[in-house]
Amino acid sequence: MESTKIPKSPHSRISLDDAINEALHSPSGSSTNIAKKVYNSRLYWPDIINIPKNKWTFNCMEIIEKLDKNEQKATEEKKNMEKCLMYFYTMKKKLNLFDHTYTAASILFFRFWYVYGLPASLINCIHVSQAILVTACKTVENNRPIDAYIKATCEYINQMIYGNRNAGNIDKLKWEVRDKLVNYEQRILTHFGFDINIDNPKEIVEDIFSGFYRYNRDFELPNEFKEVLPKILIEVRSFIIQAVTQPVSLLCDGYSFLILAMLYCGIQYKKKIDENFKYPKNFFKDRFPIETTAEKFAAYFTDYRLLEQSFFDLKSNKGDKLQTSVEEIKSILQESTVGEETGIEDPYSYEKVKSGEVQQELLDHIEERVNDYINKMTSGKKHGHGDDGSSSQTISTSTSPSRLQESASKRVKL
C-alpha cells in the first residue's frame, strides 16, 4: 500500500472528494506482475511503509498567483484566511498550546490553501482550520480532549460569525462542529497524503540551540558572542511566530526560514546595538545542512516583502525593514566558500553523535536542571493546596525546556 502524493502540478487544484476517491480507488492491477515479497520480522521498517515526499516550497510569484484573479474575490479570500490565522492564535491561548503547535498549524494551513484552496464560506474555512489544528496538535504535542476543541471553536464561531447572537443554539452548534471535525480530519490527512513532516522552524531553533549542543558544540564560541546569542534567539523566536502569519513557509524550508530569522535579527542588532556585530566564523555552516549565502537570502527578503504586500496588512509586518541588501548580509557573515567536491555536510548525522561522548559541562548542566525540577516538585507538594483544597501553586511553562531564559532587564528589543 503506497502513500498518496499531492498533485505534481503546482497550479492544479482538485476537490476534497476527488482526492479521497483517487486515494481509495487507485489502480492496483500492475502489482500482479511483481513477485510476492516475504515479510521479514527482523526489519524494523517493513517494506510496506513508504514515507511520502512532496515539494512544499515554491517561488514568490507562484504563491501570489494562487490568489483569485478577481480582485473582489481575492479580497474576500484573504479576509477568510486572516480569520483562520486568528483562529489558530485564539486556540493557542485558550487551549494553552505550544508555540510549536501554532507555527505547525499555520504551515499546514498555507500548504492546504496552496494545493486545494479554501471553501467559499467562512464557517467551512473554520471547520478546515479546526481539523488542521487537531492534526498539528497530534503531531507536535499531547492531543487535547475533543470537547476542548469543540467548546473553544464554537465560542470563536459564535463571536466572529454570529456576533454572539447564537448563544441559545450553542448545543446544536457543538454537535455540528463535532461532526465536521471528524469528517474534515480524515480529509485533511488524505489530502496531505499523510505527509505532515513540516520542518517546523520553531522546533528547529530549539533543537539546534538546545542544551546538548550548547555544551557540546558552542563552548568554543567567543565569550562576547555567547552573551549576545540568547538575546538574538529571543528575537528569532518572535520573528518566526510573526512570520508564519504570512505564507513565508511556502517560500523556504524550515532551515532556510530559521537562517532568514537569524540574519534579520542580526542585522537589526547591528543597526541598533552594536555596529561591529558579526556572527562567528562559519557559524551557519557548522549548524545548518544548507549553504548560507548573502545573495540567496537577500532574494528571500525581497520575496518576503512582496508576500506582505500581496497578502495581509498586519501589525506584525516588517515592512521596509525587509529591504535588506547583499552588502548588509555580508557584513554580519563570515562563511567560507563551499567547494563543489566537498558539499554541505549534515551536522546532525547519526554518525557524528552515535558514540555518545559528551562534555562534562553537559552532564553538570543536566544534573543542575534535574535538581531544579526536584526542588520545584517538592516545594509544590508542600505549598500546593490552600484551605479550600484548591491548588495555589503557579507553574510557569516555556515553549521548550531548552529555551534560554533571560530576565526582562537583559532582553533587547530589536
312 pLDDT band, cuts 50/70/90, is very high
Cβ–Cβ < 8 Å for 56, 7? no
Region 337-344 average pLDDT? 60
187 located within any domain: yes
**Exposed, middle or buried, 129 (CB in 10 Å: 0-12/13-18/19+)?**
buried
The verdict on 226 and 159 lying in the same domain is: no
- Give the pLDDT confidence score for residue 259 in this predicted structure: 96
Q: Is the pLDDT of residue 127 over 70?
A: yes
385 located within any domain: no
Angstrom CA distances, 38 to 33, 42, 131, stand at 15, 12, 38
Cβ–Cβ < 8 Å for 243, 205? no
24-72 residue pLDDT tens: 454 444 444 445 555 455 555 445 556 667 889 999 999 999 999 999 9
Which residues fall within 8 angstroms of residue 269, CB to CB, at 6 or more apart? Answer: 228, 231, 232, 235, 277, 412, 414
The verdict on 76 and 178 lying in the same domain is: yes
263 located within any domain: yes
Region 290-307 average pLDDT? 94
104 located within any domain: yes
Beta bridge partners of 391: 385
Task: Report the distance separating Cα 298 and Cα 369, nearest Å.
Answer: 40
217 pLDDT band, cuts 50/70/90, is confident
The verdict on 115 and 138 lying in the same domain is: yes
Total domain count for the chain? 2
Q: Which CATH number does the domain housing residue 85 bear?
A: 1.10.472
Which residues fall within 8 angstroms of residue 67, CB to CB, at 6 or more apart? Answer: 74, 77, 78, 310, 311
Region 148-167 average pLDDT? 82
**408 or 334, higher pLDDT:** 334
**388 or 325, higher pLDDT:** 325
399 located within any domain: no
29 located within any domain: no
The verdict on 177 and 206 lying in the same domain is: no
384 pLDDT band, cuts 50/70/90, is low
The verdict on 73 and 172 lying in the same domain is: yes
Region 182-195 average pLDDT? 84
**311 or 387, higher pLDDT:** 311
90 located within any domain: yes
The verdict on 270 and 184 lying in the same domain is: no
Domain containing residue 304: 201-338
The verdict on 285 and 309 lying in the same domain is: yes
The verdict on 325 and 216 lying in the same domain is: yes
170-191 and 122-140 helices, crossing angle to 10°: 60
400 located within any domain: no
358-376 residue pLDDT tens: 778 778 888 888 999 999 8
- Give the pLDDT confidence score for residue 28 in this predicted structure: 44
Output the average pLDDT for the chain.
80
The verdict on 154 and 268 lying in the same domain is: no
The verdict on 252 and 149 lying in the same domain is: no
Cβ–Cβ < 8 Å for 296, 333? no
Domain boundary among the residues 320, 338, 356 is at 338
Region 332-339 average pLDDT? 82
